[in-house]
Chain A
Amino acid sequence: MVRINGMEKDVSNMSLKEYLLTTDYNLTRIAVERNGNIVPKSQYDLTILNDGDTIEIVSFVGGG
Chain B
Amino acid sequence: MKIPSENEMKKALYDRIGKEHQRKFEDTTVAVCGLGGLGSNIAISLARAGIGKLILIDFDKIDITNLNRQQYKFCQIGRYKTDALLENIKEISPYTKIQTHTVKLNENNYYTLLSPADIICEAFDAAEEKSKLVDFVMEKMADKYLVAASGMAGLGSANSIKTKKITNYFYLCGDGVSDVGNGDTLYSSRVMLCASHQAHTVLRIISEKFDI
Contact = CB atoms under 8 A, between A and B. Distances in A.
A33 interface: yes
B166 A58 contact: yes
A38 B172 CA distance: 13
A60 B139 contact: no
Interface size class of A (residues with CB under 8 A): 10 to 19
A44 to B, nearest CB: 10
Contact of B135 (A41, A56, A59, A62): A41
Contact of A61 (B123, B168, B180, B191): B180
B125 interface: yes
A64 B149 contact: yes
Contact of A58 (B36, B153, B172, B186): B172
A37 B149 CA distance: 18
Given A40-B138, A58-B172, A64 B34 contact: yes
Contacts, number: 90
B59 to A, nearest CB: 14
Interface string B104-126: 00000000000000000001111
Contacts of A29: 127-128, 130-131
Nearest to B164: A58
B167 A61 contact: no
A63 B181 CA distance: 8
B125 A64 contact: yes
Given A63-B125, A63-B178, A36 B168 contact: yes
B145 to A, nearest CB: 13
Contacts of A7: none
Among A31, A36, A41, A61, max chain B CB count under 10 A is at A61
Nearest to B138: A38
A61 B127 contact: yes
Interface of B: 34, 36-39, 123-128, 130-131, 134-136, 138-139, 148-153, 166-168, 170, 172, 176-181, 184, 186, 191
28 contacts: A28-B127, A29-B127, A31-B131, A31-B166, A33-B166, A36-B167, A36-B168, A37-B167, A38-B135, A38-B138, A38-B166, A38-B167, A38-B170, A40-B135, A58-B166, A58-B172, A60-B130, A60-B148, A61-B153, A62-B125, A62-B126, A62-B127, A62-B180, A63-B152, A63-B153, A63-B179, A64-B34, A64-B125
